[in-house]
Amino acid sequence: MNSSRREFLRKSCGLCASLAGSAVLLSYLQSCAPLLSLELEPQNNRIQVPLDSFKEGNKVVLVTNKNQEFDIAVVQLEDQKYKALILECTHFSNQLVATKTGFFCNAHGSSFHLDGSVNNAPAQNNLKEYKLIQEENQLIIYL
């Protein structure tokens, strides 16, 4: 009796642990989905980003082109406002690594929140940003 009860508890706990582990793994794998990256050339010092890019839960869209030395992250903030952040670490000017939850510098460990504010030193200044205006179904980045 004791043996079967122990077996039941063992199996139940094992199942719960497996489910919890699977949930964590699933969430982890979901976060591993690539960021949307758009190659957009500037025209008259402006880049137009389709607002559709933020469908399907995208909060961060990378804008890249050959002329820009650093990628631009267009971020949808919680208040439905947008920011165009320059992915250059304000500490030593390294290209930042963009994720869905923030920006990271491999050179000295600085990190930044999605709104561009410093999360961890040694960076002291928030990320610089370009002026961005929403016009109908476009976001216009002014370089």
Report the residue number, 58 or 138, with the smaller CB distance to another protein: 58
Distance of CA 27 to the CA centre of its chain: 15
Interaction between residue 104 and another protein (CB under 8 A):
yes
Mark the segment that binds another protein (CB under 8 A) among 42-50, 76-84, 102-110, 133-141: 102-110
- For residue 105, give both structure tokens: 């510098």
| Window 3-32: residues binding another protein (CB under 8 A) | 28, 31-32
Residue number with CB closer to another protein (98 or 132): 98
Distance of CA 86 to the CA centre of its chain: 13
53: contact with another protein by CB under 8 A: no
Contact present, 104 and 114 (Cβ < 8 Å): no
**Which of 35, 133 has the CB closer to another protein?**
35
Stretch that binds another protein, among 10-18, 51-59, 77-85, 104-112 (CB under 8 A): 104-112
Query: Is residue 99 within the footprint of another protein (CB under 8 A)?
Result: yes
Phi then psi for residue 133, to 5 deg, are: -130, 140
| Cα atoms in the 13 Å half-sphere on the side-chain side of 89 | 22
Distance CA 139, CA 88 (A): 21
Can residue 63 be called a binding residue for another protein (CB under 8 A)?
Answer: no
The tokens of 5 are what? 């009860």
Q: What angle do CA 40, 43, 44 make, to 5 degrees?
A: 150
Phi-psi region of 93 (alpha: psi -120 to 50; beta: other; left: phi over 0): left
Question: With binding defined as CB under 8 A, does residue 101 bind another protein?
Answer: yes
Q: Which residues bind another protein (CB under 8 A)?
A: 28, 31-35, 37, 64, 69-71, 86, 88, 90-93, 95, 97-102, 104, 106-109, 111, 117-125, 128
